[in-house]
Amino acid sequence: MTTLVMKFGGSSVGTTTALSQVLSIVLYESEQWDRLILVVSALDGVTDALIEAAHLAQLGNQRGYRRIIANLRTRHLALIEELPLGTTERTALQADIDRLLFDLLDIYQTMAQTPADTVVPDKVDATIGVGERLAARIIAALLRQNDLRSVASDATNLIVTNDTFGNAMPDIRLTRDLVLNNLLPMLDRKIIPVVTGFIGVTAKGKPTTMGRGGSDLTASVLGVCAQADEVWIWTAVDGMMTADPREVPGAKVIPTLSYQEVAELAYFGARILHARMVTPLAQERIPLRVKNVYKPQQAGTLIHQANPNRSRNFKAVTSISGMGLVASRSGSLSPISLLVDQTLFATTHTHAEVMISSQSSTSSFVCFLIPTSAGPDAVHSAKQLLEEKLAENPESESWLVNPVSIITAISERLDEWPELTANVLQAIDKTRILGITHGPSHCTLSLIVEPQDAEDVLLLIHQLIINTE
């Protein structure tokens, strides 16, 4: 029996037009595959609103979090009113939405009555995952209205994670057992489960979330545990691109990528995919496809095993923020690395990723990558807190912290093709380079530059990619 997992992002479920596209895709693919599993994100902006509401609840700002929940209720109910649902289905769905939001208000009320420094992180995760639960119920109702058997399935009954709240990692072994017992029986009965992305539960039953973009990881894990034939990620763009089209207008779709290439793309800033989702699929050799929900007839980008006969050129270039630390001394880098890791985890719930470190007899330089999943304000927040921590420690106060940009060109087998590195360095010969490194995967060439130079470097390398296609 053939099994397809399809994940729909927030931009794919937030309007009646988008939901019509989702419905038509599911109707068509249900005829092509024996079994379908859907994974859905919250509507665009909902998770950010819930994060803000949780923060206000921790501060005891009852008016603030109630206002946000009222706005979310209005938005979801307005969307339901516009959908072609029967009276019974619409009434039941509205009641379900209200029940979820009332339960959410109860959690916020408990948080508001608890001192901010004692609020447990699983309470926060329980609140910010509600957006997916709302979206899943809306889509399942829409499918049922169109004669497809479907149920909303909370991932708290399927995905077991560790207890790193806010950035949890699934446990494949424990999750496989739950999928076998709770999900596969639905598929055997020709039911299409609409699973909440992004959220999970610890082995002790505490709610968790898996970081920004975590719905991709949900789809990946379910694909592995359900032994899917393929996993498709539906987005609002045509596929994986040679660069971020918001930064490089001439960016083009990449027809095929290897697992390693797309993993590095995601790790170094491509926002379409969650960086951690690729590894489980690669281990099981399950093909991954990225497609445009508004252009389902297009092939998108296929991610699979590496092609041994591929041409010699870069596939893509990315830009991501980082922090550079420099000190006019040499010595062990372990203390500063530990301090940065603790600071970044305190502000973003992600551990520090050392991009590059180098030393001479009189100087030291360390660069840390700030993942896109940490949010848009992560660099500023981490820098501010890190400077405070450095000032408190006399042994570390000599370190200076500055934002940097990490520009990464991606292609397999870079260790075999040194001319590609030479071409890049020649193209940006007028740029001050703070650091340069080939990644251990032999798939990346990363340049650390000052933020004001990032756009020029990005455009120059992208032009090199386009000209050598």
pLDDT in tens, 419-466: 989 999 999 988 999 999 998 888 999 999 999 999 999 999 999 998
Each residue of 359-386: pLDDT tens digit? 888 888 888 887 766 666 777 777 788 7
- What residue segments make up the domains of the chain, in order of their start? 3-236, 316-467
| pLDDT above 90 for 167 | no
- Spatial distance between the Cα atoms of 168 and 278, rounded to a whole number of angstroms: 16
pLDDT for res 396: 66
- Spatial distance between the Cα atoms of 315 and 139, rounded to a whole number of angstroms: 36
Each residue of 255-269: pLDDT tens digit? 999 999 998 988 887
Structure-block tokens of residue 34:
């024996």
- How many residues comprise the chain? 469
- Spatial distance between the Cα atoms of 184 and 187, rounded to a whole number of angstroms: 5
| pLDDT above 70 for 131 | yes
| pLDDT above 80 for 141 | yes
| pLDDT above 70 for 308 | no
Q: Which of 170-174, 257-261, 325-329 has the highest mean pLDDT?
A: 170-174
pLDDT for res 143: 97
* 408 DSSP β-pair partners: 318, 446
Q: How many helices (H) and strands (E) does the chain have?
A: 15, 17
Fold of 316-467: VC0802-like (3.30.2130)
Poorest-confidence range of 137-151, 172-186, 282-296, 355-369? 355-369
Judge whether 389 and 346 are in contact, CB under 8 Å.
Answer: no
106: left (phi over 0), alpha (psi -120 to 50) or beta: alpha
Judge whether 450 and 434 are in contact, CB under 8 Å.
Answer: yes
Torsion from C-alpha of 383, 385, 387, 389, nearest 10 degrees: -140
Domain at 3-236, CATH homologous superfamily: Acetylglutamate kinase-like (3.40.1160.10)
pTM given for the model: 0.87
pLDDT, greater one: 307 or 412: 412
Each residue of 69-103: pLDDT tens digit? 999 999 999 999 999 999 999 999 999 999 999 99
